[in-house]
Amino acid sequence: MTIRIGDTLPQATLHKVTPDGPEPVDTATFFGGRRVALFSVPGAFTPTCSARHLPGFVDQAAALHAKGIDEIAATAVNDAFVMAAWARDGGADGITMLADGNAEFVSALGLTMDSSGYGMGTRGQRFSMVVDDGVVTHLNVEAPGDYSVSSAEHLLSTL
């Protein structure tokens, strides 16, 4: 079943990028007690993800915080080391990187896609959401190949 507005995020373990290396975090702890803007990309360093998706959230971070977002996080079906390199490359100091290397989280959300045709295997769909104390309050899932409703600008316009 696909996650919907009003649902509580399912239990999953992600790997948060920290200066000391990957740190496992469970979804209940990470998303509990605060308001988090989360966006998902099919893969770090892929063209749209690097040229538009990540830069949009970097550019709109202050505006998102001004609208009551406590933390901005990105996730992808990549390992934490790739996510760390992508953050450095994209100047994403204010974005928390959450690696979902085994697609556990996006599978639990019901938001996977098959990218085997591109040599990428199972990946997460492109989406954005706002999670308030573990509950999804905004959810924007892209149609395959699209980039519009999951953008920082669109998410900001809904807050």
Q: What is the 3-state secondary structure (H, E, C) of the chain?
A: CCCCCCCECCCCEEEEEECCEEEEEEHHHHHCCCEEEEEECCCCCCHHHHHHHHHHHHHCHHHHHHCCCCEEEEEECCCHHHHHHHHHHCCCCCEEEEECCCCHHHHHHCCEEECHHHCCCEEECCEEEEEECCEEEEEEECCCCCCCCCCHHHHHHHC
Exactly one of 41, 49, 92, 98 is catalytic; which is it? 49
Where in the chain are the domains? 13-158
pLDDT digit string (tens) for 135-152? 999 999 998 888 889 999
Does the active-site annotation cover 49? yes
Superfamily of 13-158 according to CATH: Glutaredoxin (3.40.30.10)
Average pLDDT for residues 86-112, to the nearest whole number? Answer: 94
pTM of the model: 0.93
pLDDT digit string (tens) for 23-67? 999 999 999 999 999 999 988 887 676 777 899 999 999 999 999
